[in-house]
Amino acid sequence: MNKPVLTLLIATFSLLIVSPSAHSAGPATSTKPAKTERAMFAAGCFWKTQYIFSKTPGVTKTVVGYTGGAKTDPTYKEVCADGTGHAETALVEFDPTKTNFNKLLEVFFSHHDPTTLNRQGPDSGTQYRSAIFYTSPEQQLEATKYKQKLASEHKFSNTIVTEIKPAGKFYPAEDYHQDYYVKHGKACF
């Protein structure tokens, strides 16, 4: 190899190593989506809701917590006492190139009973209500249409009582609640 070509190669290689901007865009095959979207679902015990959504293709992250109430920084004990107005909720982040909100609605409605007011299985209280907390006008429209479609097709023998409300502040639950099913091999279902 001649000396000018070797010098050019060394200079180029040095730039790649020293200059973070030379490779800051990352590899073309990056697994992290360019942009994720968020959705929030309350369907009874949040351990089950998180587990179900975490297994859904296209979902990139799930976090359990509380939303829909007035209490700032609620604790699990406070929410379970049914005085905060918050619902046990799963925050779902998803890659819109791999799934969509409509698919998440399908998962939501097929994994709990949306016809029981403030109850799922043995759990009762407003913290266990069925609710969709939308994060955009598009999600509100899709959720409303999906709920109406299920009602018109009589998919459930009783009236669907799922609330569709704007997302408020989301308060992540205590660490021991995160991925509870994965950690303990059991959940409330």
Catalytic residue among 39, 42, 43, 45: 45
Helices (H), 19-167: 46-54, 76-80, 101-110, 137-152
Question: At CB < 8 A and 24+ separation, what contacts does 112-115 make?
Answer: 112/43, 112/44, 112/48, 112/49, 113/156, 114/43, 114/150, 114/156, 114/160, 114/161, 114/162, 115/156, 115/157, 115/158, 115/159, 115/160, 115/161
Among 163, 55, 169, which Cα is nearest to 116's? 163
User: Is position 45 annotated as part of the catalytic site?
Assistant: yes
What torsion, rounded to 10 degrees, do the Cα atoms 176, 179, 185, 189 define? 100
Among 92, 90, 36, 47, which Cα is nearest to 67's? 90
Q: Which residues are known catalytic residues? A: 45
